[in-house]
Amino acid sequence: MPQTYSWADERERAAEAFGGRYPDAELEQDLIEAFRDRPAFVVDAINDVIGGYEAGRITSPWPFLRKRIAEPAADVVVSDTRERDKRVAQAQGWIRSTGLHFEQESELVDELFGSTGRLRGWDSAPLREEMLSLWRQVRPAGEQLECEAEDRIKAQVDALERVDGHTRRTSRPRNADGSFVSPLDVDDWAAV
């Protein structure tokens, strides 16, 4: 889902951080134009200026913000979490559909954060815990599905072994405990 930004919200947040001071009309128009073109860049610049203002390094935050957004884009680092958020959502969907069948937490962590994991670029303790927490919630459903599948397979095998009330001639011989006789233990398969 794309990130949405609101200039009014960002302006209010900045004005509150700047002690209730707002930009003049001309300055605000410049900021709005920059915001229209590069909203994430302007939001990051606002965050930087707020940090500088709160630390006492900046005394005129709005003019400084205008100067900051006028810098060439190559000189500015912008954080954008859209890709991370997309990958996390995909991983959550994968856990609900496939990952719930993993038996061990370590297998899930390797699948998500290992050398080829879908979240390897964003590996952090909080994200690992978030993914493991989801897995712990859905794992019982995975166990239930596995039990049901085993029951269906057993029922199908039993049904195939009974044809017209007796064991099919093509079935492998079984030991008294129900396990299959090893092919190495049968001297003449044709006689079975």
Averaged pLDDT in 10-residue chunks for the chain of 192 residues: 80 94 92 88 90 91 90 58 86 93 92 87 90 94 90 84 57 71 58 50
Separation of first and last alpha carbons in the chain: 63
CB atoms within 10 A of CB 23: 20
Tokens of 54: 């709160």
Domain residue ranges of the chain, discontinuous segments joined by +: 7-75, 82-161
pTM over 0.75: no
CA distances from 101 to 97, 131, 167 (A): 8, 14, 34
Task: Quote the pLDDT of residue 121.
Answer: 81
- Whole-number pLDDT of residue 155: 86
